[in-house]
């Protein structure tokens, strides 16, 4: 026991003596793209390659983080992702890091001919609670510029602003994802020319790794290539970084690979599904528990809308056909208890509607209540009036003793429980079926595997 505590205290002593000469820097970057191309992760790749070749003493204290934020935010180009890079550098070199970030952005944005919205900052105060709060807000709600600036003022003097565009929200929020939480990894490969993956070679590399991968293919169709003008060749998602290294082999790609980097991410974790007691407002994400209070309305095209209420709060939820959830929503009955999770959007004449991403159903029994049968002729009886019992419309028999018949009907056997979108409809933050049961607590820590093509 004593030996263990002395090892721990000597480790702590080493850490504190290192930190007296090293500064811990958290660099947030977002919105470094233009309609002509570019992408925040690609910029990060270019920036880190230069930074680590110039400042040899710099060490990553975590994999680069690709942090997905609120998917309902209308300004996003694709998946609303910001990036955080966390480094230890000698204290005397902090300003050099800031300069390299400045220069790299100037160059990248200059080449792109856009980037007016770019946001980038360097923070020397990582544990600031306000940044963590900002992460949760940017993940689940709309962040107003005033809110952001008030918060950043509190973070204080140890913040260096490098770019102050709209991307500052995503950049600062990405830094705030400095929390022990479930995480996944994505290997992103960048391209020189056309985008092309050799499917057979890809599936060969995936052999034996299927359990450590998710959302990369469905029914034999690869989902790893984006479609926009950005420099991404492919993104491969997995549970741990070592499984992803198998996909860095350039032979898998018929298009030419200009580089690659592995990111730790909050993708596939449902982190934006926080519980809400009130109805969601437009642009909020989260989950609402309640009871179905309207018959499912089936709209043109097969989408389904229901109304859910709890303790006087009512909300609408929409289940789109392409998610596969509309089939379940159709079978709901008034009185079923549900948890609907998703993102809220504004619908004309209705207000906020949750676009459902997951649904949990606790079905109530299907109960049929009918008037009793006439014991003399077998016909269904009718009420003889208030507190006057029953009267047979066929033979005229009267009775006040008979009771209504209550029978239990059958419900769709697969209705109870959790429903998630079909694999093709899974978006970045949504946890796909194959990740359930694989949740883990990730703690930011230095990379344990090779994490880019420019590191040994
Ligand atoms: P890219 O991968 O090229 O960065 P993207 O899909 O991530 O594309 P951006 O171009 O970064 O989208 O645009 C998203 C913009 O929305 C950023 O400027 C970001 O700061 C901002 N943003 C993100 N989340 C929120 C939020 N919750 N509230 C307000 N603004 C937000």
What is the location of CATH 2.40.50.1010 in the chain? 273-384+400-422
**What is the pLDDT at residue 25?**
95
What is the location of CATH 3.30.70.2200 in the chain? 18-176
Q: How far, in Å, is the centroid of ligand 1 from the Cα of 31? A: 6
Q: How far, in Å, is the centroid of ligand 1 from the Cα of 456? A: 32
Q: Tell the residue nearest (CA) to atom 25 of ligand 1.
A: 138
pLDDT band, residue 44 (cuts 50/70/90) = very high
Indicate if the pLDDT at residue 161 is higher than 50. yes
Q: What is the tens place of the pLDDT at every residue in 97-144?
A: 999 999 999 999 988 776 678 999 999 876 678 999 999 999 999 999
DSSP for 320-342 reads -GGGT-HHHHHT--TT-EEEEEE
Contact 275, 287 (CB under 8 A): yes
Indicate if the pLDDT at residue 437 is higher than 70. yes
How far apart are alpha carbons 447 and 175 in whole angstroms?
17
Taking the CA of residue 31 as reference, the ligand 1 atom at the shortest distance is: 11
| Helix-, strand-, coil-residue percentages of the chain, each rounded to 5 | 25, 30, 40
How far apart are alpha carbons 119 and 138 in whole angstroms?
14
Maximum separation of any 2 CA atoms in the chain, in Å: 102
Architecture of the domain defined by 18-176 = 2-Layer Sandwich (3.30)
pLDDT band, residue 18 (cuts 50/70/90) = low
Indicate if the pLDDT at residue 10 is higher than 90. no
Q: Tell the residue nearest (CA) to atom 20 of ligand 1.
A: 167
Which strand (E) or helix (H) includes residue 146?
helix 145-155
Q: What is the tens place of the pLDDT at every residue in 199-234?
A: 999 999 999 999 999 999 998 899 999 988 889 999
Q: Tell the residue nearest (CA) to atom 5 of ligand 1.
A: 80
Indicate if the pLDDT at residue 191 is higher than 60. yes
Q: How far, in Å, is the centroid of ligand 1 from the Cα of 388? A: 68
Q: Tell the residue nearest (CA) to atom 4 of ligand 1.
A: 31
Q: Tell the residue nearest (CA) to atom 8 of ligand 1.
A: 77
**Pocket-testing residue among 31, 67, 140, 165, ligand 1, by greatest number of atoms within 8 A of Cβ:** 31
Q: In the CATH scheme, what is the code of domain 273-384+400-422? A: 2.40.50.1010
Average pLDDT over residues 38-60: 95
Two tokens at 365? 């029994």
Residues lining ligand 1, Cβ inside 6 A:
30-31, 33, 39-40, 69-70, 73, 75-81, 117, 119, 138, 142-143, 166-167, 169-170
Q: What is the tens place of the pLDDT at every residue in 87-106?
A: 999 999 999 999 999 999 99
How far apart are alpha carbons 98 and 120 in whole angstroms?
10
Q: Comparing C-alpha atoms, which of 173, 246, 172, 171 is closest to residue 206?
A: 246
Indicate if the pLDDT at residue 29 is higher than 50. yes
pLDDT band, residue 14 (cuts 50/70/90) = low
Q: What is the tens place of the pLDDT at every residue in 306-341?
A: 999 999 999 999 999 999 999 999 999 999 999 999
Q: What is the tens place of the pLDDT at every residue in 265-321?
A: 999 999 999 999 899 999 999 999 999 999 999 998 999 999 999 999 999 999 999
Per-residue CA distances from 128 to 98, 106, 172, 294, 416 (Å): 20, 29, 11, 45, 42
**What is the pLDDT at residue 1?**
44
Contact 289, 310 (CB under 8 A): yes
């Amino acid at each position: 026991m004593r030996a263990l505590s002395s090892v721990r205290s000597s480790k702590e002593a080493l850490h504190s003596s290192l930190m007296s000469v090293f500064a811990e820097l958290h660099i947030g970057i977002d919105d470094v793209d233009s309609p002509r191309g570019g992408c925040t992760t690609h910029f990060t790749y270019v920036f880190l390659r230069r930074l680590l070749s110039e400042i040899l003493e710099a060490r990553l204290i975590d994999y680069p983080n690709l942090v997905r934020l609120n998917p309902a935010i209308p300004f996003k180009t694709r998946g609303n992702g910001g990036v955080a890079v966390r480094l230890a550098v000698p204290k005397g070199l902090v300003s050099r890091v800031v300069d390299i970030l400045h220069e790299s952005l100037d160059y990248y944005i200059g080449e792109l001919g856009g980037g007016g919205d770019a946001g980038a900052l360097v923070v020397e105060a990582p544990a600031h609670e306000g940044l963590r709060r900002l992460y949760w807000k940017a993940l689940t709600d709309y962040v107003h510029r005033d809110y952001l600036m008030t918060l950043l003022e509190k973070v204080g003097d140890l913040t260096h602003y490098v770019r102050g565009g709209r991307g500052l929200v995503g950049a600062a929020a990405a830094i705030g994802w400095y929390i022990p939480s479930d995480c996944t990894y994505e290997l992103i490969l960048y391209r020189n020319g056309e985008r092309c993956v050799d499917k057979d070679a890809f599936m060969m590399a995936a052999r034996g790794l299927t359990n450590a991968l998710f959302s990369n293919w469905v029914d034999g169709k690869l989902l790893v290539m984006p479609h926009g003008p950005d420099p991404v060749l492919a993104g491969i998602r997995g549970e741990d970084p070592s499984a992803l290294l198998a996909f860095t082999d350039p032979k898998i790609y018929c298009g030419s690979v200009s580089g690659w980097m592995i990111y730790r991410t909050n993708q596939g974790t449902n982190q934006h599904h926080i519980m809400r007691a009130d109805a969601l407002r437009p642009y909020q994400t989260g989950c609402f528990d309640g009871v179905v209070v309207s018959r499912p309305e089936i709209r043109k095209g097969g989408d389904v809308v229901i109304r859910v209420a709890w303790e006087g709060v009512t909300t609408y939820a929409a289940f789109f056909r392409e998610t596969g959830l509309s089939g379940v929503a159709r079978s709901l009955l008034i009185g079923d208890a549900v948890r609907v999770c998703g993102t809220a959007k504004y619908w004309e004449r209705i207000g906020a509607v949750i676009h459902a991403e997951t649904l949990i159903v606790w079905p109530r029994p299907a109960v049929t209540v009918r008037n009793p049968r006439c014991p003399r002729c077998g016909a269904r009886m009718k009420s003889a009036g208030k507190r006057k019992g029953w009267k047979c419309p066929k033979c005229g028999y009267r009775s006040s003793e008979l009771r209504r018949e209550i029978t239990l009907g059958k419900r769709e056997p697969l209705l109870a429980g959790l429903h998630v979108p079909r694999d093709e409809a899974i978006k970045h933050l949504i946890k796909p079926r194959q990740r359930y049961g694989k949740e883990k607590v990730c703690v930011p820590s230095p990379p344990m595997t090779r994490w880019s093509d420019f590191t040994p």
